[in-house]
Amino acid sequence: MSRTKTPRALNPACEEADNYSRVVLRWDFSEARAIRIIKCRNQIQWIIQNRSGRRGGHPSWRPQFYCRTRQALERLLPGMAEEIAAALPVRFVEAGAA
């Protein structure tokens, strides 16, 4: 039996996919420039990503920074600090943490 693999650019479980299921915030500045914050697949941190071209004909995202605190996100994305503060807790809460 032959299996058809879902291309990474279309797999919602893949962090680089445009339809990744754990996107927290996203800013589209133009067709070519966008930034988003995601929860990493291991649920231990946030990742700031930039859209970086296309893969398999679909938008692809590349990690730029890894953060566990809202303060770090606000420092790295100062123009978005208000939205970040409204959407995220002070620290990343790991999956399974009480």
pLDDT, one tens digit per residue, over 19-47 is 999 999 999 998 779 999 999 999 999 99
Which pLDDT belongs to residue 3? Answer: 61
Which pLDDT belongs to residue 55? Answer: 79
What's the rounded mean pLDDT across residues 54-72?
92
Q: Kindly list the distances between the CA atom of residue 63 and the CA atoms of 1, 23, 47, 50, 96, in Å, as whole numbers in the listed order.
A: 36, 13, 6, 7, 24
pTM, two decimal places: 0.85
Q: How many domains does the chain have?
A: 1
Q: For residue 56, is it within any domain? A: yes
pLDDT at residue 13 is higher than 70: yes
Q: For residue 95, is it within any domain? A: no
pLDDT at residue 6 is higher than 80: no
Range of the domain at 47: 8-87
